[in-house]
Amino acid sequence: MRITLVGSRHFGVTTFNMLRQRGVDIVRVVVHDGEDRLAATAKAAGIEVVVQADPKFVIASEIAPDTDLIVTAHSHARVTREALAAAKLGGIGYHPSLLPRHRGIAAIEWTIKEADPIAGGSVYHLADRMDAGAIAAQEWVFVKKGETARELWERALAPLGYKLLADVIDHAKAHGSLPAKAQDEQFATKAPSLDGAKH
């Protein structure tokens, strides 16, 4: 299983380490910033690093040849349709909400703002529309009273992300395919950045 990993920061590094433990072949790491700690981790492991030409997009030429699956981990770039087509199984990402609820960059902040008693994580198929692709794996967690977005992420949603990504990677390795359950659009809500944003 040949994987191109697109990501950044701590979640990117931890996902990188999890993938290596699962015996998949990370053939390339794509980052928006060559100084990012994921870039340094990949270089130290002898894995090719490519810096995106445009931080908003990942394009087909940035995906390694013969990639089976693109995995994103803390990437805010859109993987273009052509880039997804360059990988045999397309791409997956982790979103820290029970999709289709809280689609957007501030999912955990909206979970707290709306006082949701339950949060969750979704591994979803990358698609043209942000956070709208089919669900490959999903699980819920309780939200503690008074918890901040950061506390909820660190306590429950980041560990859940590694577990769900690992489950989906194991499924892809065993079956050569990804689970897929369409999102129900009637339950979709948006979670834009909270700087004066409306829900």
- Residue carrying structure tokens 């990804």: 178
pLDDT tens digits, the chain, 199 residues: what are they?
Answer: 999 999 999 999 999 999 999 989 999 999 999 999 999 999 999 999 999 999 999 999 999 999 999 999 999 899 999 999 999 999 999 999 999 999 999 999 999 999 999 999 999 999 988 899 999 999 999 999 999 999 999 999 999 999 999 999 999 999 999 999 999 999 999 999 987 544 4
Find how far residue 75's CA is from the centre of its chain: 7
Superfamily of domain 96-168+182-193 in CATH is Formyl transferase, N-terminal domain (3.40.50.170)
Specify which residues 94 forms β-bridges with: 123
Domain ranges of the chain: 1-88, 96-168+182-193
Architecture of domain 1-88: 3-Layer(aba) Sandwich (3.40)
Strand pairing report for 118-125 and 135-142: antiparallel
Q: How far is CA 10 from CA 14, 34, 56, in A?
A: 6, 15, 20
Quick one: angle between helices 158-175 and 9-21, nearest 10? 40
96-168+182-193 matches 1-88 in CATH topology? yes
Find how far residue 127's CA is from the centre of its chain: 12
